Amino acid sequence: MGDVDELLPIGRFARLAGLSVGALRHYDELDLLRPAEVDRSTGYRRYRRDQLATARTIARLRELELPLDEIRRILALDDPAEQRARIAAHRRRIEARTVRLQRVLHQLHHLTERREPLVSQPPGPPELDAATRRALAVGLFNHVWTLIELPSRTAAQDDEMVHAAHASRYHWGEVGAGVNLARGEWQCSRVYAVLGRAEPALHHARRCVELNEANPEHEDWDLASAYEAMARASAVASDAAAAREWRTRAEAELPRIAEAEDRQIIEQDLATLPI
């Protein structure tokens, strides 16, 4: 360190850095920006001129609403790319907050223009009794099959098929047993496979397998059906090796299916795999 004459007193340093003296004292306490020298008798702080760059960076990042802990992490990084990545993450948080505030502003506009009552409905879906939820789950499940079996569908019907499958699974999640949840996941996977959307087809097929393997009370054909879903989703993802492997696992489950009709349904599904 140079002589005392080369050090800047805190007031001058604060003016050059665009910070207040109070902020500099706070940053010293937080070990974010330590002074170069502190007078032991008076506690007066002095800074080196080359600390101005760090101080101005802190001031700039505070203007952009970065938390002090995050600023400390950024300053500790030597790689500019890593620094930019952390700032980009902060930008995404600001964007999310901006979207939320835009929604708040929109709602306030409606309230001030008397387009909405001040007291609204409580948040969340409406309360439904278990029987109604079961009826919705079953009805939507069957409606999805009607849409799947159409010889041709419009884009709107494709959307309806997706939403109905998820709505059925949602209602089963409120009132159903593990086997119902697994079958709901199976249907979601089949819908996405029909639409050629590999990623969600694989996701829901995996959930179907996980739920069935964790539930010893599933029926004897459920596991074979879950493996068939994985085979179909893998085929849609152009992973022929995985599709064949899952098909083999499904075929190994067929002898465990007691009812010939149940076994035939799985066999028919396996025969239509696009492998």
Distance from C-alpha of 203 to C-alpha of 227, rounded to nearest angstrom = 13
Q: Which own/partner pairs from 66-71 qualify as long-range (CB within 8 Å, at least 24 positions apart)?
A: 66/90, 68/27, 68/30, 68/32, 71/32
User: Does the structure show a pLDDT above 60 at 3?
Assistant: no
Reported confidence tier of residue 89, pLDDT bands at 50, 70, 90: very high
151-206: pLDDT as tens digits:
899 999 999 999 999 999 999 999 999 999 999 999 999 999 999 999 999 999 99
Contact predicate 37/48, CB 8 Å: no
Burial classification of residue 71, based on how many CB atoms lie within 10 Å of its CB (0-12 exposed, 13-18 middle, 19 or more buried): buried
Residue by residue, DSSP assigns 52-97 as HHHHHHHHHHHHTT--HHHHHHHHH---HHHHHHHHHHHHHHHHHH
Cβ within 8 Å of residue 133, ≥6 positions away:
171, 174, 175
Q: What is the mean pLDDT of residues 4-15?
A: 86
Q: Which helix (H) or strand (E) holds 46?
A: strand 45-47
H-assigned helices in the chain: 10-17, 21-29, 52-63, 68-76, 80-112, 130-148, 155-175, 178-194, 198-214, 222-236, 240-253, 260-271
Judge contact between 263 and 223, C-beta under 8 A.
Answer: no
Question: pLDDT digits over 232-242, tens only?
Answer: 999 999 999 99
- Contact between 262 and 274 (Cβ < 8 Å): no
- Rounded Cα distance between 222 and 182, Å, is 8
223: exposed, middle or buried (Cβ count in 10 Å: 0-12, 13-18, 19+): buried
- Measured distance CA(119)–CA(102) in Å, rounded: 20
**For residue 47, what pLDDT band results from cuts at 50, 70 and 90?**
very high
pLDDT at position 24, please?
Answer: 95
